[in-house]
A and B are shown apart, each in its own frame.
Chain A
């Protein structure tokens, strides 16, 4: 063990205390700021009876935002949030288009034109015993 002078020891102690204090303070402030006062966002949406969405229909649900498709394969839903930076997609001639930066997707949700690279995510559909549709976004 090398000899440490009294002065250097005190300096080390002081700096150690202050750095640790700084860390505790910074940690506390980060925890303080990392709190969400809002209730959790909705992830379950009641879409009503299946009868409202006949076979062949493609229904835009802007409040989610999602697209509900009723095909021969059953009910499916895709997210209408552009995978680039989050704008809501609109219908156009070829499928779905984003007005923010020009991304385009086909009717099945696959990206056809950038800058987006990921396909649109599909969302889970639940059909209850009394034929009510529930959309899950989680």
Chain B
């Protein structure tokens, strides 16, 4: 049989132990699938969305209330995006807590972190495209945070905003980033990330001499598992989206007017909480950057997991890395909880 792309991305067999749901949680695969769902639902939304300050909010109301299944497509797009952040975080956890970031997978780990950052940026730019009173302050604060960066802050701000103040140029630029600028880079990163999985020897596991269970599953069984995950994810997204609407508020009429909602999107609540403590550059840019840098350095500075302990959860040898990630996660979760409480 002549080899095809299907054969290229699915090796003839893969180790059975590491292919179990309870090992990988299917997180990486589901993340890629969610990105596909986002591209498809996003493409359909493009038939109705109008990227101007006057048209944006109204076009979203048109999609939500008037277009047949428009509300469903929009809800699926929104919930897939939020689920992607969570699933990506689960995937990051899995990688660190099974030690799957060590050589030769260190570069792929960095690619994955980059994908996480891009997912968050895509989520934020999409959020802004609503251009309603709910996102108003996130737009002002988020872009002003760029300005506080020393030396280059103002230039980056002007490039981001398309002028001196947020307005119609900002919206069209965020639209360009969201549907093309960020997506094109993300697609390249996904391709590279998936390729590196194959090139680095598949799902991380001990070398053959140290393996206890030599069972393997065929490429067809692998595909069956992928199909199952996709079917269940799709069904769950549809059912959830039928009942739980994506947020929508009244369109922005004037960017300086007072709006009731002054909350960051949920994945930035932890930053909003820190910003209450003082200098915006320190708490809003530097600290998050330091956290990212710590994550980047996990494969390089912490004690590495032993080869013999790969392929399973909670190896003892990289405990410090696991605890560091757990600590960072706990911190961010606590900050998120506090950030979501009403400002007293």
Do A and B come together as binding partners? yes
A32 to B44, CA, bound (A): 8
Interface band, chain B: 10 to 19
A-B CB contacts (within 8 Å), total count: 27
A32 to B70, CA, bound (A): 6
A32 to B48, CA, bound (A): 10
Contact of B48 among A28, A31, A37 (CB under 8 A): A37
Smallest Cβ distance from A35 to chain B, in angstroms? 5
Which one of B59, B69, B73 has the greatest number of beta carbons of chain A within 10 Å?
B69
A29 and B44 within 8 A (CB): yes
Which one of A31, A32, A33 has the greatest number of beta carbons of chain B within 10 Å?
A32
Interface band, chain A: under 10
A31 and B59 within 8 A (CB): no
Contact of A31 among B47, B62, B66, B68 (CB under 8 A): B68
A35 to B72, CA, bound (A): 15
Smallest Cβ distance from A108 to chain B, in angstroms? 43
Query: Which residue of chain B lies nearest to A33 when distances are taken between CB atoms in the complex?
Result: B47
Q: Does B334 contact A (CB under 8 A)?
A: no
Residue-wise interface mask of B (63-107) relative to A, using a CB-CB cutoff of 8 A (1 in contact, 0 not): 000111110110000000000000000000000000000000000
Seen from chain A, the residues whose Cβ lies within 8 Å of a Cβ on chain B are: 28-29, 31-35, 37
A32 and B62 within 8 A (CB): no
> Which chain B residues (303-321) contact chain A, with CB distance < 8 Å?
none
Which one of B47, B59, B67 has the greatest number of beta carbons of chain A within 10 Å?
B67
B residues within 8 A CB of A35? 48, 66-68, 70
Residue-wise interface mask of B (47-62) relative to A, using a CB-CB cutoff of 8 A (1 in contact, 0 not): 1100000000001001
Which one of A28, A31, A34, A37 has the greatest number of beta carbons of chain B within 10 Å?
A37
B residues within 8 A CB of A31? 68-69
Which one of A29, A31, A35 has the greatest number of beta carbons of chain B within 10 Å?
A35
B residues within 8 A CB of A29? 44, 69
Smallest Cβ distance from A30 to chain B, in angstroms? 9
B residues within 8 A CB of A34? 68
Query: Which residue of chain B lies nearest to A35 when distances are taken between CB atoms in the complex?
Result: B67
A residues within 8 A CB of B59? 37
Query: Which residue of chain A lies nearest to B234 when distances are taken between CB atoms in the complex?
Result: A21
User: Can you add 14 more A-B contacts, CB < 8 Å, to A31-B68, A37-B48?
Assistant: A28-B69, A28-B72, A29-B69, A32-B44, A32-B69, A32-B73, A33-B44, A34-B68, A35-B48, A35-B66, A35-B67, A37-B59, A37-B62, A37-B66
A residues within 8 A CB of B73? 32
B residues within 8 A CB of A28? 68-69, 72
B residues within 8 A CB of A32? 44, 47, 67-70, 73
Query: Which residue of chain A lies nearest to B62 when distances are taken between CB atoms in the complex?
Result: A37
Smallest Cβ distance from B85 to chain A, in angstroms? 26
> Which chain B residues (34-52) contact chain A, with CB distance < 8 Å?
44, 47-48
A28 to B69, CA, bound (A): 7
Query: Which residue of chain B lies nearest to A28 when distances are taken between CB atoms in the complex?
Result: B69
Smallest Cβ distance from A17 to chain B, in angstroms? 9
A residues within 8 A CB of B67? 32, 35, 37
A96 to B47, CA, bound (A): 38
Query: Which residue of chain A lies nearest to B47 when distances are taken between CB atoms in the complex?
Result: A33
Query: Which residue of chain B lies nearest to A32 when distances are taken between CB atoms in the complex?
Result: B69
Smallest Cβ distance from B230 to chain A, in angstroms? 11
A33 to B63, CA, bound (A): 11
Smallest Cβ distance from B89 to chain A, in angstroms? 29
A residues within 8 A CB of B44? 29, 32-33
